[in-house]
């Protein structure tokens, strides 16, 4: 397969409600959509970087820049392009995993579409639908939080994840547990908001029977996570800390986590995401698919990833309506707590030209 041209497009999707985490408050999802034109047809992808370098060091216009100036020229110069070749070809460029993941996803989509194969089958998926949960942002009041959780449980979500930070942890978790009872699958995500000196405080979460506590400490601080794991009953799950399969092996060897959140963008692509899954499987450690407020493109590909056998916990892959009133693809819906894995070739879904045009804020074309 040869790359013939590409289109980089920014889209802007208003969120149905502001999404507040320990990192900040989001009211609109600006996304970068990539369309590759190849000798065998087109391929679609999105880059999951955010506007600002808050969740990680990547940010949207920076990702567009590295794709435009370095990644696409390198791929346009190649005679034979295939999905596994993307990481090899871009291996000389450090960092930028979300930008690399977007390019790899578009090549995967193009080559699998040409081959008539779905991404789930290609990756080794074993499920036609996947169990899903929902991530609930920090709210102004506990009543407001209880109202949201009630709505999501009614919608059928199989797991509720509460965003926490210092000052918003024990009390909201207690209120949710007391209101909705012991059988609700509940987790918390701190997005790195705590320090090692908070270990005693975090142990206070043990009484609520949480499935896991996600990323309490800084990404590079495996040591504090390992310390916490020795004194806390609740399993520790890492998100920001795991940027490759090698990181996953290191974290597991050090006892820093016993569950892993996998986001393809964070680890540089769907193929590395599968390797993280394989490392976890070899350690008998469950994984689940994280979320980055993806458009329908990333949501479709994440559903394929989450169909692999090691994805033992509900993912942060919610219905489109959890985040957006309008998307660039047909919406995904939750039924009985599950979302169906798209069945078509490639990522299994194509943006609608109408929806795309309505939400696009800029387009740029690249050719050799």
Interacting residues with ligand NPQ (CB under 6 A):
21, 23, 26, 50, 55, 135, 189, 191, 239, 290-293, 316
- H/E run at residue 19: strand 3-21
Cα–Cα distance for residue pair 89/78, rounded to 1 Å: 9
Cα–Cα distance for residue pair 266/269, rounded to 1 Å: 8
Determine contact, residues 267/97, Cβ cutoff 8 Å: yes
Looking at the Cβ atoms of 38 and 192, the one nearer to Mg ion is 192
Cα–Cα distance for residue pair 7/64, rounded to 1 Å: 11
| Nearest in space to 270 (alpha carbons), one of 131, 129, 134, 124 | 124
Cα–Cα distance for residue pair 216/224, rounded to 1 Å: 9
Min dist CB 135 to ligand NPQ, Å, is 4
- H/E run at residue 114: helix 97-115
Quick one: what does residue 55 bind among ligand NPQ, Mg ion, none, with the CB cut-off 5 to 8 Å set by partner type?
ligand NPQ
Quick one: what does residue 251 bind among ligand NPQ, Mg ion, none, with the CB cut-off 5 to 8 Å set by partner type?
none
Quick one: what does residue 50 bind among Mg ion, ligand NPQ, none, with the CB cut-off 5 to 8 Å set by partner type?
ligand NPQ
Determine contact, residues 245/276, Cβ cutoff 8 Å: yes
Cα–Cα distance for residue pair 113/45, rounded to 1 Å: 13
Cα–Cα distance for residue pair 306/37, rounded to 1 Å: 27
Min dist CB 295 to Mg ion, Å, is 19
Q: Which residue has the tokens 């460029």?
A: 93
Min dist CB 143 to ligand NPQ, Å, is 22
Instruction: Establish whether 151 is a catalytic residue.
Output: no
Min dist CB 120 to ligand NPQ, Å, is 21
Looking at the Cβ atoms of 1 and 105, the one nearer to ligand NPQ is 105
Residue 221 engages Mg ion in binding (rule: CB under 5 A): no
Given 2, 100, 151, 263, the catalytic residue:
263
Cα–Cα distance for residue pair 274/100, rounded to 1 Å: 15
Looking at the Cβ atoms of 46 and 239, the one nearer to Mg ion is 239
Quick one: what does residue 219 bind among Mg ion, ligand NPQ, none, with the CB cut-off 5 to 8 Å set by partner type?
none
Task: Quote the DSSP letter at residue 70.
Answer: I
Number of H helices, E strands in the chain: 15, 13
Residue range at the interface with Mg ion (CB under 5 A); choices 21-29, 145-153, 181-189, 338-346: 181-189
Grouping H, G, I as helix, E, B as strand and the rest as coil, residue 80 is: coil
Looking at the Cβ atoms of 64 and 162, the one nearer to Mg ion is 162
Looking at the Cβ atoms of 138 and 285, the one nearer to ligand NPQ is 138
Cα–Cα distance for residue pair 287/261, rounded to 1 Å: 6
Min dist CB 48 to Mg ion, Å, is 13
Position with the least CB separation from ligand NPQ: 135
Grouping H, G, I as helix, E, B as strand and the rest as coil, residue 25 is: strand
Quick one: what does residue 293 bind among ligand NPQ, Mg ion, none, with the CB cut-off 5 to 8 Å set by partner type?
ligand NPQ
Instruction: Establish whether 2 is a catalytic residue.
Output: no
Residue 169 engages Mg ion in binding (rule: CB under 5 A): no
Grouping H, G, I as helix, E, B as strand and the rest as coil, residue 286 is: coil
Query: Contacting Mg ion (CB under 5 A), which of 198, 239, 294, 327?
Result: 239
Position with the least CB separation from Mg ion: 239
Min dist CB 46 to ligand NPQ, Å, is 11
- Bridge partners of 46, per DSSP, are 33
Looking at the Cβ atoms of 26 and 350, the one nearer to ligand NPQ is 26
Min dist CB 55 to ligand NPQ, Å, is 5
Looking at the Cβ atoms of 81 and 190, the one nearer to ligand NPQ is 190
| Nearest in space to 180 (alpha carbons), one of 202, 150, 155, 209 | 150
Active site residues: 163, 263
Residues of this chain that bind Mg ion (CB under 5 A): 189, 214, 239
């Amino acid at each position: 397969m040869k790359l013939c041209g590409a289109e980089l497009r920014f889209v802007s999707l208003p969120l149905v409600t502001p999404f507040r985490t320990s990192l900040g408050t989001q009211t609109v999802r600006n996304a970068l959509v990539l369309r590759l034109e190849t000798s065998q047809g087109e391929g679609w992808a999105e880059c999951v970087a955010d506007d600002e370098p808050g969740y990680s060091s990547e940010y949207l216009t920076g990702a567009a820049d590295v794709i435009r100036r370095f990644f696409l020229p390198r791929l346009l110069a190649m005679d034979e392009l295939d999905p596994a070749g993307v990481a090899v070809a871009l291996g000389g460029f450090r960092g930028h995993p979300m930008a690399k993941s977007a390019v790899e996803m578009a090549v995967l989509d193009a080559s699998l579409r040409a081959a008539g194969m779905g991404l789930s089958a290609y990756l080794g998926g074993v499920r036609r639908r996947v169990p899903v949960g929902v991530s609930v942002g920090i709210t102004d009041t506990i009543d407001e939080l209880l109202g949201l959780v009630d709505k999501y449980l009614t919608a059928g979500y199989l797991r509720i994840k509460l965003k926490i930070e210092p000052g918003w942890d024990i009390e909201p978790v207690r209120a949710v547990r007391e209101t909705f009872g012991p059988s609700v699958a509940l987790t918390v995500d701190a997005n790195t908001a705590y320090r090692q000196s908070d270990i005693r405080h975090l142990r206070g979460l043990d009484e609520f029977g949480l499935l896991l506590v996600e990323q309490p400490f800084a990404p590079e601080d495996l040591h504090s996570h390992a310390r916490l794991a020795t004194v806390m009953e609740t399993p520790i799950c890492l998100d920001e800390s795991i940027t490759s399969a090698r990181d996953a092996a290191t974290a597991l060897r050090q006892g820093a986590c016993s569950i892993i959140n996998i986001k393809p963008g964070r680890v540089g692509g769907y193929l590395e995401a599968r390797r993280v899954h394989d490392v976890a499987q070899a350690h008998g450690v469950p994984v689940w698919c994280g979320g980055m407020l993806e458009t329908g493109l990333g949501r479709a590909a994440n559903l394929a990833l989450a169909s692999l056998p090691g994805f033992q916990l509900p993912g942060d892959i919610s219905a489109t309506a959890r985040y957006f009133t309008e998307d660039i693809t047909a919406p995904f819906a939750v039924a009985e707590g599950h979302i169906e894995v798209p069945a078509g070739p490639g990522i299994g879904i194509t943006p609608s030209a109408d929806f795309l045009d309505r939400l696009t804020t800029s387009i740029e074309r690249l050719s050799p």
